């Protein structure tokens, strides 16, 4: 079981596409909804599965653990839950790399206060010792929210990711002129050809598509795409001229985004910058590649679904019961948030921004 | 000014007594309410003041900064406020020593987001850049609460401190038999003699009283105090047989503490343990040294009194206004708490505890 | 000057090729001997130079600093010398990433003990305060040697790098059959075409060649190179079937490497593994791609060329004089070492190894 | 055995006196040569021994381990040897407290490369895996030397320690006038009375003597010792007016120390400072308390006595054999050093120093 758990932990992200979450909705093979589906498919059908069996590991248990249906529910929660090993790992690593101490947390005390406990039905459940560990878990939750708020959902990060997605949306856009479609494929790795034709990749194509594949295609488009919109997007991305966020200030979203789109259309029509492609100003579909909308959402956790709590004297209880007993919120930081942002092409962002600010004043 | 600020920061705790907060209410010279008063007196009257002047430092400014009335209000807040350098220092140090990562916080980002800002009246005020720094401050507040909850107010720490105070309360108790009073002084350092007679120390006596003084006295009493209560208290402390916390469980405080006192009286009367002193069971004043009551309170901060906030576009505002704008609580962790605890002499704690649990069941 | 120094520090590695040192001898534009030459060319001719001028930075000073001919010799030594900022940076980073504490060192004390000192000719020279700083510098030197010994020159690292270089040596090998030459170019990025024809790249081609370019080419060759040797090398690299080190044990290099080559030839001739390409066993040139020789050398520093030493009482002196005065070696760890290794294709390594061990016994 | 080992590790320093090494030669009970002897006596005769037995720990094994005669020689070496747990602990702790990164080392890799190995006689021996661990051990040795050189043997540290010892040498000096002897005892804790009479303490007195005892005595002498030399020494120590090091420069020790003593005698005779006691200038014995001589010695380790080395292919060997094979020194840093220093009373140090420098020039 230990081997199965370790294997499951190591393999749980196998199904990620190139550039993971950013291109996940675009590059996943048909029939897969998320990268988790893809992970399972790779384990069950791919070479990796047979290799895992070869080392004497029970692949069925690995799959059950990853699906969250294994009889040892505590281990399932530890693989995918509010205090799972994946989050332990990426938060700590990203906080160190980003140089933000507020993304770090006390892993030692958290681990020390977690154990497996047989519940009344003799099922192993994840158990947290409240007195020693709740404070560490609370810090962990805060760290996670801080990382999303300040790092993962930082405007620059999201803007770059959104632009990358826009490149591939354009490269596979069924509505662009036919002549651009065949051109987009040329000189790019074969494994993304079917995707560029508007289809979902096969599992084999998916496996052949890595970050290098994606970058090779963008580099090609940057230099010689016939489609001016695709070329513009690729250039902006590779030359680090990222789309700029336009803050809506006191305006409501509808008003602001309509105005920004109108202004962008004008600016494109007048070719306000030499860098801009000459496109058909009346083509609203094209316009959408110059004003990118980005949505992101953070769901705080503190429900501890499936975790039991050891409060010292009595039998382990659920978090809801612990809170009810205490008569107050025990874990702070349960603050969800979401961000909806407008990113505008760098060559026109500043004029659009000025116009919006003018309009806001009126 | 820089020198004055550094001097103020270094000297702000000069007025602490031996064992700082634990004996503060007992050992401070008359006329001083807190150790801060004493710090000021030492600076203004003591040798330290003249030495500070000798190095070319403006003592008046030092005193103004410590009193919080200096014209540079930003620096005053940095010396004593919700995000002051004293807390930065002790939290980080104590967290490292106690081995609790959850007491650590991101000092670098907090410092980087703080600056001095001239307000409308051209007064320097402490300014926090919200977007980069609020998250670090929030973590700092959480760390502080966690340290109080798990470390500073830990039952063992509070129990040992309470026992230490009890030793000195007894040694200076005006109500104990006269014969014990003269004896208590014998063989102890002179600087605490007036204190043992029930008076407050002079400033000079205060300066002569350090941890060594206190320990020397307790060591003397442990071996040869005629007062059996004092001897018992001193022995318990030095032999690490600390008083034990009796948790009141579901009972209310009044009921529980009355019961515990009654039980303690019985237990003392019956001399349930050989270690116990033979005291007059009917003497309720003595009884109070076998059941110690400890109170502690944590006041969360998040009011940011006197600090301004830079939210990016507009003029700096107060925290209240920032929150009003945001329409939500911005800093979590504003959770006050207090603890009232009963500590019972180690020789009888377990029988008292059993009796209380019995009573609770009924 | 500060700006010029910072710019020089940031730009000193601009001239690195894809996969930096591993492919440096192969991919550098003609007329450049090292990546430092290339850095200077990029600054003097490239767009980056004009951008640097635009921000008000004195490009001439940047170049002088990088060439080590700036009048402020102390800063030159800090950019490129035995205690330079580049080494400070990469050692600390790599040690953290590799998880080896022995690669870390006390940067704070080293910085604190370094300063600029006007020598007798009023030239600024790098000055080290011996009493406080020598011990930190010594640790830094040890850390550097440890990193080379245990990490940078680790057999696996060197083996992978050597294999990568072999791929590109083969892909540009003028002696392989003509038919393979044209094929090797197909489907690879244009910027390496002239390289594949045996020429050195132009500066523009160099700039277009990044890690992605290299990986794209290798991925192409892995799947469909007509040259079986190239295909084999590419497959081994991408499928992580790295060449294995064959330790020569007590044998001398000549004997061992001759024997290993002979055995390899036999093994290839007999096609001992299905994975092996069917090549002309008599072609010794081909054979060289199945037995790779790797050389690496570590030069310890402790000469402190150009650095002055402050020993307290007297005028700053050179390191040689400090040592002469002390009558002993002051900085330990001046231990050079070099490693010459044989790496053999994975499909035959184990049989070759066995044969070598047999031979050794006789 | 695990429990015995842990107990031995925890108890190995029980026998330290107050202020450990500084007063060890003075305060140890008669018949004990070192604090290790004392540790063993406490375990075998004291209360601690019976307590250890009570928790089910084999006291005989504890004692054997501490004496280094246990059959498991590997564990003995781990308790007291060149890479023992005591050094691991204090170096890391002191480096962190002193803020010197060069005193830190890579404990993880060191532990990972150590194991127990059954030698040809089936005795467990400490075994070090050379390839992975030697570099960590080397860093550990360097760290140790650096700590001694820069921290433990720092002039200020040694000067303070030497002064503390001088206080107690004077307080128990059989040659001082009789009248001072009885006075020295007054007002000091009883447990040091026999010591003050020139006897070695009993084990019980030793146990009662802690840092508080020592400080209490010094505080008494500082205020009211009749012996002016004792009073002077105590004042210097408590008022942080430490004796100053006089560097001998290019002079030889004999010449320098004779001169310094002569000058000190003159200075005392002329009472060059008001702080100086009026002593009998002709009394050379008194003079010795105004010029203190301090000796310290560092013995580097790298002999790895009793440790075996795993070099990969062959059987474990001794370090000597490993080096012979390698044909070179493998562990650098085997640099012993010693320091002999003169410390002079603060009130005359500067005039003595000037005179010495004058003399040196001639």
Least confident of B317-331, D67-81, D251-265: B317-331
pLDDT at res. D284: 66
pLDDT at res. A302: 63
pLDDT reading at A278 higher than 80 = no
**Mean pLDDT of all residues in D77-97:** 94
Look at residues C93, C83, C104 and name the one whose alpha carbon lies nearest to residue C146: C104
Q: How far is D254 from chain C (nearest CA, A)?
A: 20
**Residue D334 pLDDT level (bands cut at 50, 70, 90):** low
**Residue B272 pLDDT level (bands cut at 50, 70, 90):** low
Please spell the DSSP secondary structure of A287-325, one letter per residue.
HTTTEEEEEEEE------TTEEEE-SSS--B-HHHHHHH
pLDDT at res. C73: 94
| Contact (Cβ atoms closer than 8 angstroms) between residue D75 and residue D51 | no
Chains C and B touch (3+ CB pairs under 8 A): no
**Residue A326 pLDDT level (bands cut at 50, 70, 90):** confident
**Mean pLDDT of all residues in A47-53:** 94
Q: Using the Cα atoms of residue B316, residue B321, residue B325 and residue B330 in order, give the sign of their dihedral.
A: positive
Q: Which two tokens stand for residue B252?
A: 């209310």
| Contact (Cβ atoms closer than 8 angstroms) between residue C209 and residue C201 | yes
The angle subtended at Cα A28 by Cα A25 and Cα A30, nearest 5°, is 110
Q: How far is D87 from chain C (nearest CA, A)?
A: 17
Q: How far is A292 from chain B (nearest CA, A)?
A: 23
DSSP annotation of A82 reads T
pLDDT at res. C220: 94
Contact B102 A136 (CB under 8 A): yes
Residue B135 Cα to chain centre, angstroms: 28
Neighbours of chain B (3+ CB pairs under 8 A): A, D
Contacts for B305 with CB less than 8 Å, ≥ 6 apart? B77, B81, B82
Contacts of C148 in chain D (CB under 8 A): none
Contact C142 D138 (CB under 8 A): yes
| Contact (Cβ atoms closer than 8 angstroms) between residue C254 and residue C260 | no
| Contact (Cβ atoms closer than 8 angstroms) between residue A79 and residue B88 | no
> Which own/partner contact pairs does C204-210 have at CB distance under 8 Å and 24+ positions apart?
C205/C29, C206/C17, C206/C27, C206/C28, C206/C29, C206/C38, C207/C42, C207/C46, C209/C17, C209/C18, C209/C27, C210/C18
- Beta carbon pairs, A and B, within 8 Å: 71
| C-alpha neighbours within 13 Å on the C-beta side of residue C47 | 3
Residue C183 has a CB neighbour count (10 Å cut-off) of: 16
Cα A70 from Cα A127, distance rounded (Å)? 17
Write the burial class of residue D121 (CB in 10 Å: 0-12 exposed, 13-18 middle, 19+ buried). Answer: exposed
H/E segment holding residue C312 = none
Is residue B336 helix, strand or coil? coil
| Contact (Cβ atoms closer than 8 angstroms) between residue A344 and residue A246 | yes
**Residue D58 pLDDT level (bands cut at 50, 70, 90):** very high
Contacts for C243 with CB less than 8 Å, ≥ 6 apart? C159, C162, C163, C236, C292, C343, C344, C345, C346, C349
pLDDT reading at B352 higher than 90 = yes
pLDDT at res. A53: 95
Interface of B with D (CB under 8 A): 96, 189, 211-213, 215-216, 219
| Contact (Cβ atoms closer than 8 angstroms) between residue B112 and residue B261 | no
Contact C215 A212 (CB under 8 A): yes
Contacts for A282 with CB less than 8 Å, ≥ 6 apart? none
Q: Which two tokens stand for residue B203?
A: 């400033």
Cα B290 from Cα B260, distance rounded (Å)? 10
Write the burial class of residue D214 (CB in 10 Å: 0-12 exposed, 13-18 middle, 19+ buried). Answer: buried
Strand partners, B115: B127
Please spell the DSSP secondary structure of A216-256, one letter per residue.
HHHHHHHHH-SSHHHHHHHHHHHTT-PPEEE--TTS-HHHH
Q: Which two tokens stand for residue A232?
A: 């513009």
| Contact (Cβ atoms closer than 8 angstroms) between residue B63 and residue B43 | yes
Phi, psi of C188 (to 5 degrees): -105, 155
**Distance, first Cα to last Cα, chain A:** 67
Mean per-residue pLDDT over chain B, rounded: 91
pLDDT in tens, B18-45: 998 999 888 998 888 889 999 999 999 8
Phi, psi of B173 (to 5 degrees): -70, 120
Q: How far is D113 from chain B (nearest CA, A)?
A: 26
Please spell the DSSP secondary structure of B285-308, one letter per residue.
HHHTTTEEEEEEEE------TTEE
pLDDT at res. B282: 60
pLDDT at res. C335: 77
Q: Which two tokens stand for residue A76?
A: 């399932």
Mean per-residue pLDDT over chain D, rounded: 91
What tens-digit pLDDT sequence spans chain C (362 residues)?
Answer: 999 999 999 999 999 999 989 998 889 988 888 899 999 999 998 899 999 999 999 999 999 999 999 999 999 999 999 899 999 999 999 999 999 999 999 999 999 999 999 988 889 999 999 999 999 999 999 999 999 999 999 999 999 999 999 999 999 999 888 899 999 999 899 999 999 998 989 999 999 999 999 999 999 999 999 999 999 999 999 999 999 999 998 899 999 999 999 999 988 888 767 778 876 656 667 889 999 999 999 988 767 888 999 988 778 988 888 888 777 777 765 678 899 999 999 999 999 999 999 998 88
3-class SS letters over C148-174 = HHHHHCCHHHHHHHHHHHHHHHHHCCC
Contacts of C246 in chain D (CB under 8 A): none
pLDDT in tens, B91-146: 999 999 999 999 999 999 999 999 999 988 889 999 999 999 999 999 999 999 99
Contacts for B254 with CB less than 8 Å, ≥ 6 apart? none
Radius of gyration of chain B (CA): 24
Residue with tokens 């090797």: C184
| Contact (Cβ atoms closer than 8 angstroms) between residue C105 and residue D102 | yes
Q: How far is A320 from chain B (nearest CA, A)?
A: 19
**Mean pLDDT of all residues in D291-308:** 87
Phi, psi of D298 (to 5 degrees): -115, 125
pLDDT at res. B33: 86
Q: How far is C32 from chain D (nearest CA, A)?
A: 37
- Cα D191 to Cα B291, C55, D202, D207, D300: the distances in Å are 33, 75, 9, 9, 38
**Mean pLDDT of all residues in D127-156:** 94
Report the length, in residues, of chain C: 362
Chains D and A touch (3+ CB pairs under 8 A): no
pLDDT at res. C227: 93
Residue B199 has a CB neighbour count (10 Å cut-off) of: 12
Which of B219, B221, B224, B241 has the most D C-beta neighbours within 10 Å, making it the best mutation to test the interface with D? B219
pLDDT in tens, D238-297: 999 999 999 998 899 999 999 999 999 988 888 767 778 876 656 667 889 999 999 999
pLDDT at res. A280: 62
Cα C51 from Cα B77, distance rounded (Å)? 43
| Contact (Cβ atoms closer than 8 angstroms) between residue A140 and residue A110 | yes
Residue with tokens 């990562």: B101
Contact A101 B106 (CB under 8 A): yes
Contact B189 D216 (CB under 8 A): yes
- Which residue in chain A is spatially nearest to B331 when comparing CA positions? A333
Write the burial class of residue D45 (CB in 10 Å: 0-12 exposed, 13-18 middle, 19+ buried). Answer: exposed
Residue C234 has a CB neighbour count (10 Å cut-off) of: 26
pLDDT at res. A285: 75
Look at residues D142, D86, D126 and name the one whose alpha carbon lies nearest to residue C102: D142
The angle subtended at Cα A43 by Cα A39 and Cα A49, nearest 5°, is 155
Contacts of C47 in chain A (CB under 8 A): none
Contacts of C95 in chain D (CB under 8 A): none
Q: Are strands C337-344 and C244-246 parallel, antiparallel or unpaired?
A: antiparallel
Write the burial class of residue C5 (CB in 10 Å: 0-12 exposed, 13-18 middle, 19+ buried). Answer: buried
Contact D102 C106 (CB under 8 A): yes
């Amino acid at each position: 079981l230990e081997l199965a758990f370790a294997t499951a932990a190591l393999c749980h992200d196998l199904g990620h596409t190139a550039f993971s979450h950013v291109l996940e909705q675009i590059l996943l093979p048909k029939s897969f909804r998320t990268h988790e589906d893809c992970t399972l498919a790779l384990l069950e059908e791919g070479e990796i599965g047979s290799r895992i069996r070869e080392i004497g590991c029970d692949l069925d248990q690995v799959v059950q653990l990853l699906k969250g249906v294994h009889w040892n529910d505590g281990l399932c929660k530890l693989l995918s839950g509010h205090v799972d090993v994946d989050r332990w790992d990426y938060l700590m690593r990203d906080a160190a790399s980003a140089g933000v101490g507020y993304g770090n947390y006390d892993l030692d005390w958290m681990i020390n206060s977690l154990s497996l406990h047989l519940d009344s039905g003799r099922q192993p459940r994840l158990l947290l010792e409240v007195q020693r560990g709740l404070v560490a878990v609370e810090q962990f939750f805060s760290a996670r929210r801080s990382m999303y708020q300040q790092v993962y959902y930082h405007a620059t990060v999201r803007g770059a990711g959104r632009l990358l997605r826009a490149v591939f949306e354009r490269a596979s856009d069924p509505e662009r002129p036919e002549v651009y479609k065949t051109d987009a494929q040329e000189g790019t790795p074969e494994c993304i050809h079917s995707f560029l034709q508007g289809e979902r990749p096969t599992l084999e194509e998916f496996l052949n598509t890595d970050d290098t594949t994606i970058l090779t295609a963008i580099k090609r488009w940057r230099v010689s795409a016939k489609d001016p919109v695709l070329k513009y997007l690729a250039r902006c991305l590779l030359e680090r001229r990222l789309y700029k966020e336009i803050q809506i200030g006191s305006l409501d979203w509808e008003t602001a985004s309509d105005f920004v789109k109108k202004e962008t259309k004008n600016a494109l029509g007048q070719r306000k910058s030499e860098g801009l492609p000459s496109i058909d100003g009346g083509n609203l579909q094209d316009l959408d590649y110059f004003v990118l909308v980005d949505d992101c959402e953070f769901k705080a956790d503190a429900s501890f679904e499936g975790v039991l709590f050891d409060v010292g004297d009595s039998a382990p209880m659920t978090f809801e019961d612990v809170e009810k007993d205490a008569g107050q919120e025990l874990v702070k930081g349960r603050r969800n948030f979401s961000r909806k942002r407008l990113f505008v092409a760098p060559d026109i962002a500043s004029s659009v921004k000025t116009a919006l600010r003018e309009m806001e004043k009126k």
